[in-house]
Amino acid sequence: MTDKEQNIKSNEERKSVKGILFRLCGYVFKHWYLFIPAVLLTLLANQLSLLGPKYSGQAIDAITLATGVDFDSVSGNVIKMLICYVLSAIMSYLLAVIMMYMSQKIVYTMRKQVFEKLTTLPIGYFDNHPTGDIISHISYDIDTINSTLSHDLVQVMTSLYTVLGSLIFMWNISKPMILIFVITVPAAILFTRYRSKKVKPLFKLRAKKLGELNGYAEEMLSGCRTIQAYERENEIGGRFDTRNEDAMDAYYNADYYGATLGPSVNFINNLSISLVMILGGILYMLSQSGAVKVGGMFFITLGGIAQFVQYSRKFAGPINEFANILHEFQSAFSAADRVFKILDENPEKEDIEGAVDLKLTKGCVEFSDVVFGYTPTKRILKGISMVADPGKTIAIVGPTGAGKTTIISLLMRFYDPDSGVITIDGDDASCFTRKSLRSAYTMVLQDTWLFYGTIYDNIAYGREGASEEEVILAAKAAKIHNFIESLPDGYNTVISDDGINISKGQKQLITIARAMISDSPMLILDEATSNVDSRTEIQIQEAMNELMRGRTCFIIAHRLSTIQNCDKIIVLQNGVITEFGTHDELMSKGGFYSTLYNSQFS
Domains 24-343 and 365-601 share a fold: no
> SS3 for 315?
helix
- Given this model, what pLDDT does residue 130 score? 76
- Given this model, what pLDDT does residue 67 score? 63
Q: How far apart are CA 323 and CA 330, in angstroms?
A: 11
Reference 597, options 454, 397, 407, 379; nearest CA is: 397
The average confidence (pLDDT) of the chain is 80
- At position 267, the amino acid (one-letter code) is F
- Given this model, what pLDDT does residue 536 score? 67
Side-chain-facing half-sphere of 217: CA atoms under 13 Å = 16
Q: Over the stretch 498-540, which tens digit does the pLDDT of each residue have?
A: 555 677 778 888 888 888 888 788 888 887 666 667 776 776 6
Residue 41 has pLDDT above 50, yes or no: yes
Rounded to whole angstroms, what are the CA distances from 546 to 274, 477, 543? 90, 9, 5
Domain ranges of the chain: 24-343, 365-601
In degrees rounded to 5, what are phi and psi of residue 578?
A: -100, -25
CB 355 within 8 A of CB 431: yes
Q: Over the stretch 359-413, which tens digit does the pLDDT of each residue have?
A: 877 888 999 999 998 888 888 898 899 998 888 889 998 888 888 888 988 998 8
- Given this model, what pLDDT does residue 66 score? 60
- Given this model, what pLDDT does residue 462 score? 81
Q: What is the 3-state secondary structure (H, E, C) of 439-491?
A: HCEEEECCCCCCCCEEHHHHHHCCCCCCCHHHHHHHHHHCCCHHHHHHCCCHH
In terms of Cβ atoms closer than 10 Å to its own Cβ (0-12, 13-18, 19+), residue 80 is middle
- Given this model, what pLDDT does residue 368 score? 92
Which segment of 6-10, 94-98, 363-367, 397-401 scores lowest on mean pLDDT? 6-10
Cβ-based neighbours of 73, under 8 Å, separated by 6 or more: 58, 59, 62
Q: Over the stretch 124-173, which tens digit does the pLDDT of each residue have?
A: 888 778 777 788 788 878 888 887 777 777 777 777 778 888 888 888 87
Residue 355 has pLDDT above 60, yes or no: yes
Residue 9 has pLDDT above 60, yes or no: no
Residue 7 has pLDDT above 80, yes or no: no
At the top level of CATH, the class of 365-601 is alpha beta
Please give the CATH superfamily to which domain 24-343 belongs: ABC transporter type 1, transmembrane domain (1.20.1560.10)
Q: Over the stretch 436-489, which tens digit does the pLDDT of each residue have?
A: 888 888 888 777 778 888 888 888 888 888 888 888 988 888 888 888 888 888
Residue 8 has pLDDT above 50, yes or no: no
**Helix spans in 223-232 (H):** 224-229
Q: Over the stretch 538-555, which tens digit does the pLDDT of each residue have?
A: 766 766 776 677 788 898
Element (H, E) at 322: helix 302-343
Q: Provide mean pLDDT across the span 188-196.
A: 72
**Max CA separation in the chain (angstroms):** 124
Give the other-Cβ count within 10 Å of 239's Cβ.
13
Q: Over the stretch 274-303, which tens digit does the pLDDT of each residue have?
A: 787 788 778 878 777 766 666 666 677 777
pTM of the model: 0.67
> SS3 for 63?
strand
Residue 15 has pLDDT above 60, yes or no: no
